[in-house]
Chain A
């Protein structure tokens, strides 16, 4: 599965124009800008980089020793999802104060692990030069960016958690925040693949699968926002059925 050459190619492939959040540098090869080559030391620098200089993260993922960047990104994702989960738990309080953070963090990581092999296969089938470590790094970046953005939404979510008793309304609000955060995460992933000789043909399919896995994970780990007698559900349910049932109760 691994590329036989552990070091990245000396000259990264060029990026098609108009890709990525920073259009000014979007068409330039990774590493062309001195900003791209700055090292990322620790989680704080990784947060700064993934928000302001996503190209720096993508460049570092292609360098030897990208492991520490990936670890930092995963740490960010876990810590931020735990914090956001705590805010989610404040709606129901009690057990949910620790259960919601654990479920959200675990659900995100497990969803990523489940979807990782298919992303790697899609990227190989479409002829991109991505190594497995880069694909792992891009998924870690996706999760980190998503969860960092969720932290930005946390004050708003907390205010509403304290104001409403409507489970459906809170569920819809968290889902909206999750959709926005996921949009930016997917955009980061998409930009990452654009630097690897073009996006995999199946990237859209994979994104759809990833989204479905995450929403189904939220149903499989329910309750996350509300309360229940058991920590995990006793009945298996498809997420759409679960959502419609919640809307009917509202």
Chain B
């Protein structure tokens, strides 16, 4: 990938197709503009998806979620950057901090492009769904459908991004086993931090019974895993 050819139409199809030769060249060379390019795509793609998610509750919530979703992605990448850079060589791929961070950013960029591409569809679905604030019991089915669609899109984007990342890691490592180990370790770390950051930055959809806020009044109270544990306990040991 030439440094002079950084454009959406030139870069993004290559990323989505998983061109490992271009990916390897990007990882091995340093081009500051590429970093900003990926960050811009994450801000745009994840921001559009966030706006669609938040629009269900309120236009202001749409703006907040559009800001928060990319922020979580970038903070997760940065927060785990050092750890990911340490784990890669230990598990068999000799990447430095910059290279491992760029590989993770590439993966998130692919996810953001997919999220951005699906955001008009999601927005259309939400536009056709009764407003969340109405709270009528008859809307439960529609609300479940929207939540299901959001989850499915995020899952699809995540899976596609990680398949591409695995291919790139395989190319860099020359070994499928090392690539799988590194991917698993990175995923575990990103899941752990990302889910907690998402918990801190709640709400995203916005509950109809609560005011529209950028962050809840008690963002650092509790953790994602405690909430899961309590829900599990409540479900099985009421």
> Which A positions have Cβ atoms within 8 angstroms of B?
21-23, 51-52, 148-149, 151-153, 155-156, 159-160, 162-166, 169, 184, 187
Contact = CB atoms under 8 A, between A and B. Distances in A.
B193 interface: yes
15 contacts: A21-B89, A21-B92, A23-B92, A152-B80, A152-B84, A155-B82, A155-B83, A156-B80, A156-B192, A159-B193, A159-B197, A165-B222, A166-B223, A169-B223, A187-B90
A156 B220 contact: no
A22 B94 CA distance: 9
Contacts of B223: 160, 163-164, 166, 169
Contact of A155 (B92, B193, B226): B193
A156 B79 contact: yes
Nearest to A22: B92
A21 B193 contact: no
Contacts of B221: 163
A241 B166 CA distance: 43
B196 interface: yes
A21 B226 contact: no
B196 A160 contact: yes
B166 to A, nearest CB: 19
B-side interface mostly: helix
Interface string B182-208: 000000010011001101100000000
B26 interface: no
A146 to B, nearest CB: 11
Contact of B86 (A23, A149, A156): A149
Interface of B: 79-80, 82-87, 89-92, 94, 175, 189, 192-193, 196-197, 199-200, 220-223, 225-226
Contacts of A187: 90
Given A152-B83, A163-B221, A163-B222, A21 B90 contact: yes
A23 B91 CA distance: 10
Contacts of A165: 222
Given A152-B86, A160-B196, A21 B220 contact: no
Given A156-B189, A163-B220, A51 B196 contact: no
Which of B90, B94, B192 has the most chain A CB within a 10 Å cutoff?
B90
A155 B80 contact: yes
Contact of A51 (B90, B92, B197): B90
B222 A164 contact: yes
Nearest to A156: B193
Q: Which 4 A-B pairs have the closest CB atoms?
A: A152-B83, A155-B79, A164-B223, A52-B89
A163 B192 contact: no
Which of B196, B221, B223 has the most chain A CB within a 10 Å cutoff?
B223
Nearest to B224: A163
